[in-house]
Amino acid sequence: MEEIKIIPMTGKHIKEIAELEKVCFSQPWSENSLLEELDNHTAQFLTAVDEDGKVAGYIGSFVVCESCYISNIAVFPQYRRKGIGRALISALFSLAKEKGAESVSLEVRPSNDTAISLYNVMGFEEVGLRKNFYRNPTEDALIMTYSFDK
């Protein structure tokens, strides 16, 4: 695997992350939405970059009280299946614990078997369902949570 570093998201990553959003999601975040998170004290966004500084993937989350919520995790197709998603989640776990979180939660489409498999390997458990959460296409969301007190 080429050298990948997990670092905090900065303004120089925004354009590439916005492109990644378009590649991965039917309702992508805009550059402006991503930029706003740089000033949000509850936001914890990490970027996976290769040895040339190019964005390979990212994870966005919010830590409020004792909970961390993952809003998005995405990896460019050419970087997939190289452990980057796992590395991003592991780095976020460390950061969330440091910020006082007791658990990490996310939503995922039930049809996204690859993501669900990754989350299961990382120790997340299915804890609920949100009806009609996603659009384009409409789909429920599985709620998955990882607790640090395991």
Which residues are annotated as catalytic?
A: 107, 119
Report how far residue 83's alpha carbon sits from residue 97's, in angstroms, rounded to the nearest whole number.
21
Report how far residue 108's alpha carbon sits from residue 34's, in angstroms, rounded to the nearest whole number.
20
3-state secondary structure of 96: helix
How many residues does the structure list for the chain? 150
By the 10 Å C-beta count (0-12 exposed, 13-18 middle, 19+ buried), 132 is classed as: exposed
Structure tokens at 59: 């994870």
Report how far residue 134's alpha carbon sits from residue 61's, in angstroms, rounded to the nearest whole number.
18
